[in-house]
Chain A
Amino acid sequence: MPRRLASGNQMVAEGALAAGCRFFAGYPITPASEIYEVMMRELPACGGVALSAPDEISSLCYCVGASLRGLKAMTATSGPGWALMIETLQYALMTETPVVIALVQRLGPSTGGATQGAQGDIGLAAFATSGGYTVPVFSPSTAAECYELAIHAFNWAERLRTPVVLLSDKEVGMTTEVVEQAALNSPPLAQRQPFAGGRPFLTYGIDYPEDVPRFAPVGGDVKVSVTGSAHDLHGRLRKNAPEVVAVLEHLERKIAAHADEMALVRPDLDPGAPYLLLSYGTTARAARQAVAQLRQNGTRSSLLQIQTLFPVPRRELDWALAGVHTVFVAEENLTGQYRAVLAPYLAGKRVLGINKVGSLITPTEIVRTVRAVEA
């Protein structure tokens, strides 16, 4: 089978191009710069616009402006840049503007360690909006997953008119590895649903709470009223109007209604095994190796690699939890950010975190933790 060597960052860019991305604005930051460089090189050849922004705030604003015109848009950054983008992320969420942010995590807080990996931005990615509205977050663990999940990220951004975060990390983004080119998974492409006429156009018009407003571009034939302020279905600024609350409820319900459909996991389950390892991103690879080692030595255990971090894949979790006694959540942060998110879904199970910062969690460390419980 034809193979190549490629980094996760390279494959994020290729996935974005395959998804139909036609606008990219970026600002340099380790470990995400390669995505920016590839898009600057490749996007004009595909008939799209790629440009250098003067900061991360501008990067995302440019993307949102281009998306309002109907272009599929993406930017790429790491924690320090993401911190600057949060204002505009909220604007994209409130204005229901599709956009993808590739967030390649590095060690924080603050500038932290530019060339050190981490999985410390889970909370920052998922809970960046006032009100705690769900922003879909996809987490790849390999270069091939970077490609596939980039396409999913665009598809869901477009289908649900929402910002989506593609959350990788330095180890996934900057490690070169073998990609089986022919085996790359290319999900069918989705587009935002255009306004087809036949009724008056309302910028935020919905027929039921889970509905997604039909899209009309700024610059097109029907008048569009975009606003990041509390608004009615017309996009008119309103205060204390029931319609405003209905719009806010809709923002969450349109995502929740598709949670099962959005759920992506890579399970390796041994039904009846007492131990379940939960992990994501680069640490899922150590967990996969650890489970193989545990099984070789007679310890029955299961693995659930979670690719859709948000919305939480509850149904898949339930399946994986059947018959499990102890759950281990392995992630490269000290505070167990995703473990805290999962806690309500793990009720009745013993839950242990496997956490570390500064370097990769090793398969041996995971094996040792499980063995300690077994003993």
Chain B
Amino acid sequence: MGENVYLAPDAQLPYCRGCGHALVVRHLSHALAQLQLPPRSVALTTDIGCVGLADSLFPYLHTVHTTHGRSTAFATGMALAEAVSPAGLKPVVMIGDGGAMIGLLHLVHAAQLNVDVTVLVHNNFLFGMTGGQHSALTPLGFVTATTPEGNVTPPLDLLALLRAAHAGFLARHFATDAKLADCIARAIAYPGFAVVEILELCTAYGTRWNELTGARLKEIVAQEGYALGPLEPQSARPPFHEHYREIIAAQSRPTATPETIEPTLAAALTDQVRVVVAGSAGERVQSSAALFCRAALHAGLYATQKNDNPVTQGTGFSLAEICLSPRPIEYTGMESLDVVIVTSADGWKELQSNGTFARCRAEALLLLDDELEPQPVPGRILRLPLRRTASPNRAALAALAAWLEMSHILPSEAWQAALANLAANRRTEASDALRIGRQLALDPTATRP
């Protein structure tokens, strides 16, 4: 395959005289020719800046001109699609030093994933297209439009950073280096993430404000301690799409039909009931409420459940708001409450602060653990030894069972049907909680309203 298949033979390179970008596009074209890659297997993905002018120079490659710094991320998405739609696509990213910094996260993640993407970082030490402003890769002492006295911020060693992110192929060359084409070819052929940092001159700004020759460029490299040529290869990993194909093969199964409940029992409920269960994190408040809702479904009721807890999840209160109805439920909020169950001081505190008690109906039932400090609240109060008798983890379920024993809304078979789905150990524990709850409801020693 001829050289010209890649770089248009009559291409008018749009770069300033002496700009390194012109050298890079020629090196890239040589590299593609060396690899004999079909043009349609390359997606030239360009960033914003003068590097973004390369699209039109390669008339036969797929080209994707992207947003500033994001080129690597779009290329990553294209490469990931190989796991599902294999076409042997090789995305090649052209990005500048400015784009590399604003899109650093994308470079780091692409390196971690080891996506099959090659990134050519055109490092000319500044933002060229916008007027020669300094970048994160500007060397110390370098004069730019925004560092007229010379840059005082040490530049980022991009390759050292990406090495720490487990990039498999890393190399650094001068744009004038005859070996660059060969290096780019090896980077593209590499089955995984590859970065070639190319040091070059911006003749519009870099050489205007700095005494910048080939020799001076070498001094800068020495000054910053940059490694040249290919960095020591890291241990090879398969590219992410190959790894992911194995995941797909291992997990492939027919679409699971969601498990449904066919109501077979009848509930004694003519109107909506709204229940709040409040306790402490980790004490199965929300899972008990979910089990209760399942039981209600078996008896043909409609149910909604909202959970709340502090953002830390594992500490403080845990709360479930349940609405039961013989008809589909529209409004799912707790405008007024029929039943409030509190199994711990954490739950009590939360209900006080969120205004629950103010929303209780006059005849609401408050089913409280008897260790809670008695406080004046509206409604009929029933204090039961939930935590002591049922244990903290079973207190919520025992309380729900106690309430149902008193209200007779659901037949006991509804509980049994809901339990059938639990793992054996959880089923035993839940059965115990239900038995204890029923006994508590019948216990004459409980403090009655």
Residues A2 and B305 in contact, CB atoms below 8 Å apart: no
Residues B66 and A218 in contact, CB atoms below 8 Å apart: no
Q: Which of B166-174, B226-234, B249-257 contacts A (4 or more CB under 8 A)?
A: B249-257
Instruction: Kindly provide the distance from the CB of B365 to the nearest chain A CB, expressed in whole angstroms.
Output: 22
What band does the interface of chain A fall in when counting residues whose beta carbon is under 8 Å from B?
35 or more
Report chain B residues within 8 Å CB of A237: 55-56, 65
Q: Choose one: B43, B65, B78, B83; the contact of A229 (CB below 8 Å).
A: B65
Q: Which of B22-30, B84-92, B199-207 contacts A (4 or more CB under 8 A)?
A: B84-92
Report chain A residues within 8 Å CB of B255: 17, 45-46
Task: Kindly state the separation between the CA atoms of A343 and B259 in the bound complex, as whole angstroms.
Answer: 45
Q: Choose one: B60, B108, B261, B293; the contact of A2 (CB below 8 Å).
A: B261
Within 8 A of B (CB), among A274-303: 282, 285-286, 288-289, 292
Instruction: Kindly provide the distance from the CB of B111 to the nearest chain A CB, expressed in whole angstroms.
Output: 11
List the B residue with the shortest CB-CB distance to A221.
B40
Q: Choose one: B41, B290, B333; the contact of A5 (CB below 8 Å).
A: B290
Task: Kindly state the separation between the CA atoms of A68 and B64 in the bound complex, as whole angstroms.
Answer: 9
Residues B41 and A219 in contact, CB atoms below 8 Å apart: yes
Residues A359 and B333 in contact, CB atoms below 8 Å apart: yes
Residues A66 and B78 in contact, CB atoms below 8 Å apart: yes
Contact with A along B244-284 (1 / 0, CB 8 A): 10011001110100111111000000000000000000000
Residues A66 and B252 in contact, CB atoms below 8 Å apart: no
Given contacts A2-B261, A65-B80, A65-B81, are A57 and B73 in contact (CB under 8 A)?
yes
Contact with B along A330-367 (1 / 0, CB 8 A): 00000000000000000000000000000110111000
Instruction: Kindly provide the distance from the CB of B14 to the nearest chain A CB, expressed in whole angstroms.
Output: 11
List the A residue with the shortest CB-CB distance to B38.
A221
Task: Kindly state the separation between the CA atoms of A285 and B258 in the bound complex, as whole angstroms.
Answer: 25
Task: Kindly state the separation between the CA atoms of A48 and B65 in the bound complex, as whole angstroms.
Answer: 26
Q: Is B303 an interface residue (CB 8 A)?
A: yes
Instruction: Kindly provide the distance from the CB of A93 to the nearest chain B CB, expressed in whole angstroms.
Output: 12
Report chain B residues within 8 Å CB of A30: 311
Residues B244 and A49 in contact, CB atoms below 8 Å apart: yes
Give the total number of A-B pairs whose CB atoms are below 8 A apart: 225
Report chain A residues within 8 Å CB of B62: 218-219, 223-226
List the B residue with the shortest CB-CB distance to A46.
B255
Task: Kindly state the separation between the CA atoms of A285 and B304 in the bound complex, as whole angstroms.
Answer: 13
Residues A71 and B70 in contact, CB atoms below 8 Å apart: no
Q: Choose one: A64, A70, A177, A229; the contact of B304 (CB below 8 Å).
A: A177
Q: Which of A168-176, A205-213, A257-265, A313-321 contacts B (4 or more CB under 8 A)?
A: A168-176
Residues B80 and A23 in contact, CB atoms below 8 Å apart: yes
Q: Is A188 an interface residue (CB 8 A)?
A: no
Q: Is A69 an interface residue (CB 8 A)?
A: yes
Q: Is B74 an interface residue (CB 8 A)?
A: yes
Q: Is B21 an interface residue (CB 8 A)?
A: no
Contact with A along B41-60 (1 / 0, CB 8 A): 10100000000000110011
Task: Kindly state the separation between the CA atoms of A235 and B59 in the bound complex, as whole angstroms.
Answer: 12
Residues A88 and B258 in contact, CB atoms below 8 Å apart: no
Given contacts A5-B293, A176-B290, are A62 and B64 in contact (CB under 8 A)?
no
Q: Is B13 an interface residue (CB 8 A)?
A: no
Report chain A residues within 8 Å CB of B252: 44-45, 47
Task: Kindly state the separation between the CA atoms of A6 and B304 in the bound complex, as whole angstroms.
Answer: 9
Residues A175 and B332 in contact, CB atoms below 8 Å apart: yes
Report chain A residues within 8 Å CB of B260: 2-4, 181
Instruction: Kindly provide the distance from the CB of A35 to the nearest chain B CB, expressed in whole angstroms.
Output: 16
Task: Kindly state the separation between the CA atoms of A88 and B307 in the bound complex, as whole angstroms.
Answer: 33
Contact with B along A45-69 (1 / 0, CB 8 A): 1111101011101100111111111
Residues A65 and B75 in contact, CB atoms below 8 Å apart: yes
Interface centre among A3, A65, A288 (most CB of B within 10 A): A65
Residues B85 and A219 in contact, CB atoms below 8 Å apart: yes
Report chain B residues within 8 Å CB of A67: 77
Q: Is B329 an interface residue (CB 8 A)?
A: yes
Report chain A residues within 8 Å CB of B89: 69, 218-219
Q: Is B190 an interface residue (CB 8 A)?
A: no
Q: Is A227 an interface residue (CB 8 A)?
A: yes
Q: Is A25 an interface residue (CB 8 A)?
A: yes
Q: Is B384 an interface residue (CB 8 A)?
A: no
Given contacts A61-B76, A65-B73, are A3 and B261 in contact (CB under 8 A)?
yes
Report chain B residues within 8 Å CB of A228: 65-67
Report chain A residues within 8 Å CB of B247: 44
Residues B333 and A87 in contact, CB atoms below 8 Å apart: no
Contact with B along A228-250 (1 / 0, CB 8 A): 11000001110000000000000
Report chain A residues within 8 Å CB of B83: 49
What are 14 sample pairs from A and B whose C-beta atoms fall under 8 A apart?
A3-B263, A51-B113, A58-B76, A65-B75, A69-B77, A69-B85, A73-B77, A174-B306, A223-B62, A227-B63, A227-B65, A288-B331, A360-B331, A362-B333
B residues neighboring A (CB under 8 Å): 39-41, 43, 55-56, 59-67, 70, 73-81, 83-85, 87-89, 105-106, 108-109, 113, 244, 247-248, 251-253, 255, 258-263, 290, 293-294, 297, 302-309, 311, 328-333, 335
Known: A66-B80, A171-B306, A223-B60; 19 extra A-B contacts, CB below 8 A, are A5-B297, A5-B303, A22-B84, A23-B84, A44-B247, A44-B251, A44-B252, A45-B253, A47-B252, A54-B108, A61-B77, A62-B73, A68-B64, A176-B290, A178-B303, A219-B43, A228-B66, A237-B56, A362-B331
Q: What are the 3 tightest A-B residue pairs by CB atom distance, in nearest-first order?
A: A65-B77, A61-B73, A2-B260
